[in-house]
């Protein structure tokens, strides 16, 4: 398969899975492994195309962004709390990401870890869905400081590929008593600083190894992930509203199990 087709395929995988609780990084690692791609060559690409999916959230929620920005300029408590909560939840990922970056990169080449993380994460989602007692907190600004801290800590679990950043933050938020819709939107908005930071770090760290051709492929992958994510996020919220997160949990368990069988047979 040509590099261009590979970039398009991985961009589709990123766009479909980034905001679902199924682990986009895990799926990219598995796709790279199962399709026979060089994991070291495509590892940076898989991180660098994330801004495409991030931009989809900016487009879909642009009214919210403008309202928060306007509120900040007016000193409104609602907008200040919105930004405060996201910044607080972002800090743990910065600290651990910088401290353990090399160890995290090593895990990105381990497809077996991804498969097991998918299965275990699926079971965890089913447990949280059944046992969590949530209440409507009135949106992201209604989340408490302590809840924001705990969501940030839970997000760090997603540094293990296959855990899922969105899965960890959404399930964590629900476990801490936050309603399903706010939990999902908190996860979406928290993705902006988290994924942007991860992309900048990887691009800077590997700046000498990235060629002009690599940049073109990253651009293609990011564009594809943006278009796909626009569609997927809307569909995701509709599914969650009607069916909850259980369908994604069962998908994780099946996908992880199949991946283990295929990897064992290789």
Mean pLDDT of all residues in 95-120: 84
> Count of domains in the chain?
1
Instruction: Provide the pLDDT confidence category of residue 164 given band limits of 50, 70 and 90.
Output: very high
List Cβ neighbours of 190 (8 Å cut-off, separation of 6 or more).
86, 89, 90, 151, 155, 169
Q: What are phi and psi of 22, to 5 degrees?
A: -125, 0
Q: Is the pLDDT assigned to residue 39 strictly greater than 80? A: no
List Cβ neighbours of 64 (8 Å cut-off, separation of 6 or more).
none
Q: What is the pTM of this model?
A: 0.89
Residue range of the domain that includes 191: 3-265
Query: Of 115-119, 157-161, 253-257, which range is least confident?
Result: 157-161
Q: Is the pLDDT assigned to residue 40 strictly greater than 80? A: no
Q: Is the pLDDT assigned to residue 163 strictly greater than 90? A: yes
Compare 35 and 136 and report the one with higher pLDDT: 136
Instruction: Give the pLDDT confidence of 187-239 residue by residue, as tens digits.
Output: 999 999 998 988 888 888 878 878 888 899 999 999 999 999 999 998 998 88
- Is-contact 65 188, C-beta < 8 A? no
Q: Is the pLDDT assigned to residue 17 strictly greater than 70? A: yes
How many CB atoms are closer than 10 A to CB 110?
17
The percentage of the chain sitting over the pLDDT mark of 90, rounded to a whole number, equals 67
Q: Is the pLDDT assigned to residue 122 strictly greater than 80? A: yes
Query: Of 30-34, 87-91, 164-168, which range is least confident?
Result: 30-34
Instruction: Provide the pLDDT confidence category of residue 68 given band limits of 50, 70 and 90.
Output: very high
CA angle 45, 51, 52 (to 5 degrees): 90
Query: Of 55-59, 73-77, 145-149, 207-211, which range is least confident?
Result: 207-211
Instruction: Provide the pLDDT confidence category of residue 1 given band limits of 50, 70 and 90.
Output: low
Q: How far is CA 231 from the centre of its chain?
A: 16
Return the C-alpha torsion angle 106, 17, 135, 128, nearest 10: -60
């Amino acid at each position: 398969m040509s590099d261009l087709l590979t970039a398009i395929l991985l961009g589709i995988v990123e766009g479909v899975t980034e905001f679902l609780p199924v682990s986009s990084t895990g799926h990219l690692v598995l796709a790279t492994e199962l399709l026979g791609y060089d994991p070291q060559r495509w590892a940076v690409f898989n991180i660098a195309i994330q801004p495409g999916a991030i931009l989809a959230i900016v487009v879909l929620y642009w009214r919210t962004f403008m309202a928060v920005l306007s509120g900040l300029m007016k000193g409104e408590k609602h907008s200040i709390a919105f930004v405060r909560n996201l910044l607080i939840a972002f800090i743990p990922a910065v600290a651990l990401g910088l401290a353990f970056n090399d160890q995290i990169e090593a895990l990105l080449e381990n497809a077996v870890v991804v498969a097991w993380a998918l299965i275990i994460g699926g079971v965890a989602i089913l447990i949280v869905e059944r046992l969590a007692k949530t209440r409507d907190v009135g949106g992201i600004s209604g989340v408490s400081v302590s809840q924001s801290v705990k969501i940030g800590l839970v997000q760090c679990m997603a540094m293990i590929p296959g855990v899922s950043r969105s899965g960890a933050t959404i399930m964590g938020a629900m476990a801490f008593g936050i309603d399903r819709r706010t939990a999902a939107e908190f996860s979406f908005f928290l993705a902006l600083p988290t994924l942007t930071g991860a992309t900048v770090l990887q691009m800077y760290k590997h700046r000498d190894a990235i060629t002009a051709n690599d940049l073109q492929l990253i651009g293609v992958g990011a564009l594809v992930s943006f278009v796909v994510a626009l569609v997927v996020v809307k569909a995701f919220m509709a599914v969650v509203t009607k069916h909850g997160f259980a369908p994604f949990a069962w998908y994780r368990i099946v996908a992880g199990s199949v991946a283990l069988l295929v990897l064992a047979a290789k």
